[in-house]
Amino acid sequence: MIRSLALILLPLQAAAVTLDMPSNATLTAEDLSTPTSYDMPVGAWSAGGMPILTVAGDVQMQAWRIDAPGVTTLQLLQPLQDQLTNAGFEVLFTCTDDACGGFDFRFATPILPAPAIHVDLGDYRFVAAQRVGDDGPELVSLFASRSSAAGFVQVTRAGVADSGPIAAADAPAVRAVSAAVTGDLAQELEARGRFVMSDLAFQTGSAQLGDATFGSLQDLADYLIANPARTVALVGHTDSVGSLDGNIALSKRRAGSVLERLVSNYGIPRRQLEAEGMGYLAPVDSNLTEEGRTANRRVEVIVTSTE
């Protein structure tokens, strides 16, 4: 069941946003519908259905292929989302694969058919935005996924007429991070299969990762983008303050917070990550000193793929 937030009947308006796609993008399909309506998702799918915003007017869809092996869905959508924000749009909802609702969300969302766009159910990203003008609202949604060879983006625009192209390939090309193995983290993962992310900051009893920029997160993201077949386990550890059961749960939540940061801020697919917790069972230093307890509050990366 789809839960509709609103039904808006609006007069046609002339001005509309046109997005700049990267220069290595190719238009693969276009659907310029006669005046109709568009049900734009504005929330995740759940057992109770999916909230939508409905607008009447022309509905236009374009599918684009971006020839950039290894590019992430975040790399594909962030520049387009920034363009919408700069053009006065409000982002109403954004999500990734499982957080959107996985299979159910994807098949409740209008998507142009393959091969114009490829959808990996374990690696897609969605953005819904709205701009309200004198003549009523203009809705734009973005849907991105990728294959091993390319990225794919669908742009849907509704509520405007005689508005020109939805998007044009005028922006600089987007490329994936080089696949070269560089840096301490990448070298350690390739040589030993594990790395301690020692720069991450956790306080006693807290599962939240700090807001600072951590170099090991960027290094791990670069490594996983460059090696899309690699999977890793993020393993949380704690100091010895508190019970074993409580610390195992806490350490897993810490690893989970690192996983969520990698997915949301760096565009890493969830299928490359898992989060586990060891509590205080594998210390690297003495828990009798504050310095030792600080060292023991950590997250390790362990390579789990065999490729």
Which stretches of the chain drop beneath a pLDDT of 50? 6-14, 178-181
Task: Output the pLDDT for position 163.
Answer: 66
Same domain, 25 and 131: yes
Q: How many structural domains are present in the chain?
A: 2
What pLDDT, on the 0 to 100 scale, is given for residue 33? 73
Residue 144 forms part of a structural domain? yes
Q: Indicate whether 255 belongs to any domain.
A: yes
Query: Same domain for 38 and 148?
Result: yes
Same-domain status, 199 and 271: yes
The last residue of one of the domains, among 140, 171, 202, is: 171
Short-list 109, 110, 86, 106, CA closest to 97: 106
- Report the pLDDT value the prediction gives residue 57, as an integer from 0 to 100: 83
Q: Burial, 307: exposed, middle or buried (Cβ in 10 Å; 0-12, 13-18, 19+)?
A: exposed
**CATH number, position 214:** 3.30.1330.60
Within-domain flag for 98: yes
With respect to residue 165, please indicate whether it lies within any of the assigned structural domains. Answer: yes
Is 142 in the same domain as 229?
no
Alpha helices in the chain (DSSP H): 73-86, 97-100, 102-108, 183-192, 215-226, 244-266, 290-296
Per the domain annotation, does 89 fall within a domain?
yes
84 and 208 share one domain:
no
21, 119: one domain: yes
Are 228 and 114 members of one domain? no
Distant-in-sequence, close-in-space partners of 148: CB < 8 Å, separation ≥ 6: 69, 228
Tokens 């195992």, residue? Answer: 248
Q: What is the Cα–Cα distance from 131 to 90, expressed in whole angstroms?
A: 6
Find the domain containing 51 and state its range: 2-171
Helices (H), 204-302: 215-226, 244-266, 290-296
255 in the same domain as 122 = no
Q: Is residue 178 part of a domain?
A: no
On the 0-12 / 13-18 / 19+ scale of CB atoms within 10 A, 254 is buried
Same domain, 48 and 13: yes
- Pairing, β 167-171 against β 194-196: unpaired
The HSE-up count of residue 297 (CA atoms within 13 Å, CB side) is 23
Q: One-letter amino acid identity for 234?
A: L
Q: What is the pLDDT of residue 92?
A: 96
- Coil, strand or helix: which one is 75? helix
Beta strands per DSSP E along 149-197: 151-158, 167-171, 194-196
In a domain, 176, yes or no: no
Last-in-domain residue among 145, 171, 197:
171
Q: 102 and 32: one domain? A: yes
* pLDDT reported for residue 90: 96
What's residue 48's pLDDT? 82
What is the pLDDT at residue 203?
61
